[in-house]
């Protein structure tokens, strides 16, 4: 059985009830690094020991084969990013290569450990990036997975000279978006001899072009990447209500190491946290708010949960029996992860927030649906 590389979460594997489930996660390097393979080998050996102890009847060699194949796959290790998560059962092996570092973990249980993946993918919302200077502009569409250039039609002007000197201010052509995960970067250079009026006309043209072509159907943030001297002017003259107050310096090509993207991801995460904190505060004194795990489990199965919020670094020993949803003691199992799996299988909206953003004595909070 070969592994499957995916960028979709949750994958269908989490809805399977095949036991056992192995989760391996670890930080990785973008360049070839033998330490990654050594760490991975140690985690696989740890998984073997845990499987032998917890599931003695398992055909271990057959079950673990996909993990062994990855260990020897040099092409796999030559294309790692910043983090790696692998989910394995007896039917499927799913691999996530993430562009953020992730904690080292080997987890063997009746369900997969999904808290890290949930926290990573919960902010997987689209956004645009406008890279502009006094020479030309480019537009990109991105999300947590990657950034790709938006391709314009060939006769659509995207340079100062063509827009200002050739009188094409009102020309708006249709556009198409390149592949989602292909990174392409602008090559513009700052133009110091552009006139003040010409620049204003150029910036207004670009602003109108983007609104007319991209913001009739899409209501997503737009992040500005430009030389510092243009930030204030572009923000003042823009009529795009979705232009983010967070701006970044330079042109996008100068950040091929993904520094700008990392900063944008941080802003998107911060906004996600603020939005969910505001929702919790709205229900602060409402009877629809509960932290009782038994009540939460009952309402998940009855489809009465509006939203489930977890603390990011909080765990509880225990286990949910997924046949009857009863809770039992288990020192080697994360009860809150079981609760997350139950919620995802029942398509409940979930958020994992930093510990310091939640005033909770426990590790989970649910907002119930109001049917009145």
CATH number of the domain enclosing 169:
3.30.420.60
Give the residue ranges of DSSP H helices in 79-169: 115-121, 160
Distance CA 167, CA 221 (A): 30
pLDDT, residue 47, reads 98
pTM, rounded to two decimals: 0.82
Neighbours of 212 (CB within 10 A): 10
Does 78 lie in the same domain as 51?
yes
pLDDT, residue 182, reads 37
What are 352-362's pLDDT values in tens digits? 998 777 777 78
Helix, coil or strand: residue 280: helix
pLDDT, residue 277, reads 87
In a domain, 63, yes or no: yes
Whose CA is closest to 137, among 219, 54, 204? 204
- Domain of 315? 283-372
pLDDT, residue 280, reads 85
Q: Write the CA distances from 223 to 238, 243, 275, integer angstroms.
A: 12, 6, 19
What are 163-184's pLDDT values in tens digits? 987 654 444 444 544 444 433 3
In a domain, 278, yes or no: no
Count the domains in the chain: 3
- 10 cis-preceded (ω within 30 degrees of 0): yes
In a domain, 258, yes or no: yes
Does 166 lie in the same domain as 84?
no
pLDDT, residue 146, reads 82
Does 269 lie in the same domain as 132?
yes
pLDDT, residue 237, reads 95
283 secondary structure, DSSP code: T
Does 139 lie in the same domain as 95?
no
pLDDT, residue 372, reads 55
Helix, coil or strand: residue 365: strand
Does 103 lie in the same domain as 150?
no
Does 263 lie in the same domain as 143?
yes
Q: Which residues of the chain carry a pLDDT beneath 50?
A: 168-174, 176-193, 254-256
pLDDT, residue 148, reads 87
pLDDT, residue 297, reads 96
Does 54 lie in the same domain as 131?
no
Residue 332 belongs to a domain with what CATH number? 3.30.1330.30
Does 258 lie in the same domain as 144?
yes
In a domain, 217, yes or no: yes
Neighbours of 215 (CB within 10 A): 17
Does 252 lie in the same domain as 238?
yes
Distance CA 301, CA 101 (A): 34
- 325 cis-preceded (ω within 30 degrees of 0): no
pLDDT, residue 304, reads 94
pLDDT, residue 154, reads 86
């Amino acid at each position: 059985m070969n592994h499957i590389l995916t960028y979709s979460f949750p994958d269908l594997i989490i809805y399977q009830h095949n036991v056992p489930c192995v989760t391996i996660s670890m930080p990785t390097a973008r360049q070839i690094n033998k330490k990654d393979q050594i760490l991975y080998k140690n985690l696989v050996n740890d998984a073997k020991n845990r499987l032998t102890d917890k599931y003695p009847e398992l055909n271990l060699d057959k079950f673990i084969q996909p993990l062994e194949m990855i260990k020897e796959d040099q092409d796999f290790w030559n294309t790692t990013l910043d983090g790696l998560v692998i989910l394995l059962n007896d039917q499927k092996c799913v691999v996530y290569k993430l562009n953020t570092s992730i904690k080292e973990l080997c987890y063997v249980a009746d369900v997969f450990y999904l808290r890290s993946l949930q926290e990573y993918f919960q902010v997987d919302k689209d956004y645009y990036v406008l890279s502009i200077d006094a020479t030309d502009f480019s537009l990109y569409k991105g999300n947590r997975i990657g950034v790709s250039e938006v391709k314009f039609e060939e006769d659509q002007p995207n340079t100062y000279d063509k827009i200002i000197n050739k009188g094409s201010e009102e020309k708006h052509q249709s556009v198409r978006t390149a592949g989602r995960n292909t990174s392409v970067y602008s090559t513009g250079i700052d133009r110091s001899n552009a006139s003040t009026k010409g620049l204003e006309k150029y910036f207004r043209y670009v602003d109108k072009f983007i609104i007319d072509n991209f913001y009739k159907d899409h209501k997503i943030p737009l992040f500005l990447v430009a030389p510092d001297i243009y930030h204030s002017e572009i923000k003042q003259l823009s009529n795009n209500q979705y232009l983010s107050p967070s701006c970044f310096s330079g042109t996008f090509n100068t950040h091929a190491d993904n520094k700008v993207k990392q900063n944008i991801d941080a802003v998107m995460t911060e906004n996600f946290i603020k939005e969910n904190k505001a929702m919790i505060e709205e229900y602060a004194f409402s009877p629809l708010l509960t932290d009782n795990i038994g009540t939460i489990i009952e309402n998940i199965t009855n489809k009465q949960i509006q939203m489930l919020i977890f603390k990011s670094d909080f765990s509880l020993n225990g286990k949910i029996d997924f046949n009857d949803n009863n809770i039992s003691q288990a020192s080697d199992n994360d009860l809150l992860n079981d609760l997350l799996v139950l919620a995802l299988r029942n398509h409940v909206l979930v958020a994992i927030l930093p510990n310091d953003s939640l005033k909770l004595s426990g590790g989970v909070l649910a907002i119930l649906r109001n049917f009145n």
